[in-house]
Structure 1
């Protein structure tokens, strides 16, 4: 992604002046040890399987990526033009660290991988994403996920 100081003044000001939501302070919650956790990955890279619907501008939605998906089948339909996709083209783990999670599970450092991972498209206003994010929290709880690797892109 381009550095803020490298952006033209107009787009830079849109980012700097963006009205971001203020959240109340919440205390951290303890949970199981890492080696006992069930972990899902959530990314904002706009990833999905080739057969899935592409992301569209202004749509605050997510795509489900089954953990057994062939990573070569993932495409990125993120709409941002200020987005360097080079790393993704070389190694999907840059935006969806699936192989790293599998390695941690095999070494016993993480309990297990969740059956599904999730991708939003970044460059969506936070307030617009909130309903889908709240929905995903329920989905993760129903799947007994006890930890998330969040990969903001």
Structure 2
């Protein structure tokens, strides 16, 4: 597994060197209600969408909506990086979008409930491209009563 830019092919390393990484202020951990009372949303960066939905394009910072009842067989991955290994997703979609595991946790009462809709971005986009979409998504999560997110970076 490649872990350093110096170990990567020069063309890929140069591409990554051009990406400006944002700096965030630290946020203290806040106490909240127990997990068994929380409404959980999945947010993945695997470039997933429902079959027939608009695929992701290079540099696309938008997200796709995945209703909670969506069957795994209806999910398509359009993540386009040549460095992205789709093997795990092909064997078990829960690797990049653990919807079945979240359904089980909700059914067992470990979490309060699942959001009615989940979301996927495509990784490898400039962070500033996602900001307006993330702000809009925050409003949707509030409307759905979501109070916890399981972020699944891919």
Partner of 1:110: 111
Distance 2:118 2:10 in 1: 36
- Conservation of the 8 A alpha-carbon contact between 1:32 and 1:146: no
Report the CA distance shift for 1:17/1:58 in structure 2 as closer, same or farther (over 3 A): closer
Q: 1:72-130 deviations in whole A, cap 9, x for unaligned? A: 11000111111000000011000000111111112211111111100001010112111
SS at 1:41 equivalent: strand
- For residues 24-103 of structure 1, the aligned pairs below 5 Å read 24-103=25-104
Partner of 2:2: 3
Distance 1:4 1:13 in 2: 15
The worse-fitting range, judged by mean Cα deviation, of 21-30 and 92-101 is 21-30
Distance 1:44 1:128 in 2: 14
Distance 2:19 2:75 in 1: 31
Q: Across the two proteins, how many residue pairs are aligned to each other?
A: 152
- For structure 1, which runs of at least 5 residues remain unmatched after alignment? none
Q: 1:49-87 deviations in whole A, cap 9, x for unaligned? A: 112111111221100000001111100011111100000
Q: State TM-score, norm by structure 2.
A: 0.92
Distance 2:17 2:54 in 1: 31
Distance 2:138 2:131 in 1: 10
Partner of 1:148: 149
Aligned residues: CA RMSD: 1.5
- For structure 2, which runs of at least 5 residues remain unmatched after alignment? none
Distance 2:15 2:3 in 1: 11
Q: State TM-score, norm by structure 1.
A: 0.92
